Amino acid sequence: MRREGMDHQLPRSTTGQEERYDRNRIEAGCRRDESERRLGPARLRDAVAFQRQPVETLVRRRRMDGSLFQLTSAVAGRMLVVGAPDLAFDVLHAPPGTYLTGVANRRILPVLSENCVLTLDGEAHRQRRRELAPLFHGDGLNTIAPVMRELAGREVEGWPLGRPFAVLPRMRALTLSIAVRLILGIENSECVAQVERHLRRAVRPYSMLSGVAALSRLGSVSPQAALERGHRAFAHGLAESVRCRREDPGVEASGPELLGPEEVFSLLLAARETTAAAVAWAIELLAWSPQAAAAVAREPAGSQRPSLDAVIWESLRLRPPLVDIVRQPVGSVRLGGRKIPAGTLLLIPPPLIHREAATEERDRFDMARFLGHPPDPHTWLPFGGGERRCLGASLAMLELREILPQIIDRFHLLPTGSEPERPRLYGTALVPAAGACVVLSQRRR
């Protein structure tokens, strides 16, 4: 605010004491304005640090600022981070209607449309979730499980031996193939590749800036315009891919086809990136823990594989694939003894909550932590919690249980660097900085 504007709004002083009081108010206001200006570069540094070193930044800020602290995201702007397990539980299990999740999801991931299961709230969300549930539970998963094994086995057969190999890109291709088969019934590899191309174009990094309203002034070259073009191209490509899978063009549309391109886009995006990151992190961690990999490889194939389950649970604890569980209070709420205004974007980061909940060696991969017993769902949050827990959690766990043995049972895994890979942000996913780069050698059976 300009100083002369402030002078204009002040009442006329009639005494020297009042004049001194008014001057003090003006000077105090200028100091506050200068303080806000100084905070601008600090918030920019905050955003850059969070983008480059998300987990380290969260841990450092938790140590410095306590269980609730402000953090800036390049995409979502200012957020209030919930960094204690008990406070996270209070938010995730609050009475229905206390928080909005769909609105908050769109603030953190603006490439999503307003009419998909991830961005709806209230009864509209519950209805959409009921409609989609059969895809991700029961018979839907029983049908897709052997397909996962077949696709995973076919994928790893061609992996190179004896040289550095990045697992993450191949896992993206594999998990997308599984998701496209499950959601759209598409099996043709050319059709799957076509869907993948259009999905990749729609989520280019520039489109992530569509949440910054001021950039809309750029018109046709704005991120908002780029995102709209990407969504139109995806819808067109999806229609072509669905047509390409039909033997009979007049066949009646199936349930998944009737979801619409916006819903399919959100489901494929979620199913591809997070599960691919989860598998890649497990491989990267096992490359540094050969005893754990050997324990999994020794287990006979079958439904009961306690070492495999322990590896999956511990990998998801130490390296959850998402940094963001978000909520937005409908009205003002009290949290941790503080009053939180309506509309505040709350960020609950699973890697930080997992770290705070661990009682010992919190930064070390240790499959014994969960050997023989599952993690506590109140503090283990790779899929969120409460009534908005990830709809595809069962699918993701099934993929981990089917894909990992295809890799571990075939190969010894060796790291390529001098230290484990650090997480970096890819959208809102936490991915290995070098793509989970390992060296493979044949495992003797």
State residue 29's pLDDT score: 39
pLDDT tens-place string over residues 280-330: 999 999 999 999 999 999 998 877 899 999 999 999 999 999 999 999 999
What does the alpha-carbon distance between residue 377 and residue 72 come to, in Å, rounded to a whole number? 28
* pTM for the model: 0.86
Tell me whether residue 431 is in a domain.
Answer: yes
Question: Within this chain, do residues 45 and 71 fall inside the same structural domain, yes or no?
Answer: no
Summary mean pLDDT of the chain: 86
Question: Within this chain, do residues 147 and 14 fall inside the same structural domain, yes or no?
Answer: no
Q: Tell me which of 31, 52, 73 is where a domain ends.
A: 52
Question: Within this chain, do residues 118 and 266 fall inside the same structural domain, yes or no?
Answer: yes
Question: Within this chain, do residues 60 and 46 fall inside the same structural domain, yes or no?
Answer: no
pLDDT tens-place string over residues 202-238: 888 788 788 878 888 999 989 889 888 988 988 888 8
Tell me whether residue 204 is in a domain.
Answer: no
Question: Within this chain, do residues 177 and 320 fall inside the same structural domain, yes or no?
Answer: yes
Instruction: Compute the average pLDDT of residues 436-440.
Output: 97
Contact (CB, 8 A) for 324 and 380 = no
Bridge pairing between strands 68-73 and 423-426: unpaired
Reply yes or no on whether the pLDDT at 407 is more than 60: yes
Tell me whether residue 434 is in a domain.
Answer: yes
Question: Within this chain, do residues 294 and 378 fall inside the same structural domain, yes or no?
Answer: yes
Question: Within this chain, do residues 327 and 417 fall inside the same structural domain, yes or no?
Answer: yes
Tell me whether residue 224 is in a domain.
Answer: no
> Which DSSP string do the residues of 61-89 spell out, in sequence order?
HHHHH-SEEEEEETTTEEEEEE-SHHHHH
Contact (CB, 8 A) for 116 and 263 = yes
Which domain, by its residues, includes 31? 1-52
Q: Which amino acid is at 265?
A: F
Tell me whether residue 361 is in a domain.
Answer: yes
The structure tokens listed for 101 are: 């999740």
Reply yes or no on whether the pLDDT at 253 is more than 70: no
State residue 246's pLDDT score: 58
> Which DSSP string do the residues of 139-178 spell out, in sequence order?
HHHHHHHHHHHHHHHHHHHT--SSSEEEHHHHHHHHHHHH
Provide the number of structural domains found in the chain.
2
Question: Within this chain, do residues 417 and 313 fall inside the same structural domain, yes or no?
Answer: yes
Tell me whether residue 117 is in a domain.
Answer: yes
Confidence of residue 391 (pLDDT cuts 50, 70, 90): very high
pLDDT tens-place string over residues 97-131: 999 999 999 999 999 988 999 999 999 999 999 99
Instruction: Compute the average pLDDT of residues 407-420.
Output: 95
174 Cβ neighbours under 8 A, 6+ residues apart: 151, 152, 155, 276, 403
Tell me whether residue 235 is in a domain.
Answer: no
Which of these ranges, 16-30, 74-88, 161-175, 235-249, has the smallest mean pLDDT?
16-30
State residue 257's pLDDT score: 52
pLDDT tens-place string over residues 139-193: 888 889 999 999 999 999 999 999 999 999 999 999 999 999 888 888 888 888 8
Q: What is the CATH number of the domain that holds 356?
A: 1.10.630.10
Question: Within this chain, do residues 134 and 270 fall inside the same structural domain, yes or no?
Answer: yes
Query: Helix, strand or coil for residue 245?
Result: helix
Q: Tell me which of 17, 33, 52 is where a domain ends.
A: 52
What does the alpha-carbon distance between residue 239 and residue 413 come to, in Å, rounded to a whole number? 41
Q: Which amino acid is at 50?
A: F
More reliable by pLDDT, 430 or 207: 430
Question: Within this chain, do residues 99 and 156 fall inside the same structural domain, yes or no?
Answer: yes
The structure tokens listed for 352 are: 């930080």
Question: Within this chain, do residues 93 and 128 fall inside the same structural domain, yes or no?
Answer: yes
State residue 28's pLDDT score: 39
Question: Within this chain, do residues 263 and 354 fall inside the same structural domain, yes or no?
Answer: yes
Tell me whether residue 86 is in a domain.
Answer: yes
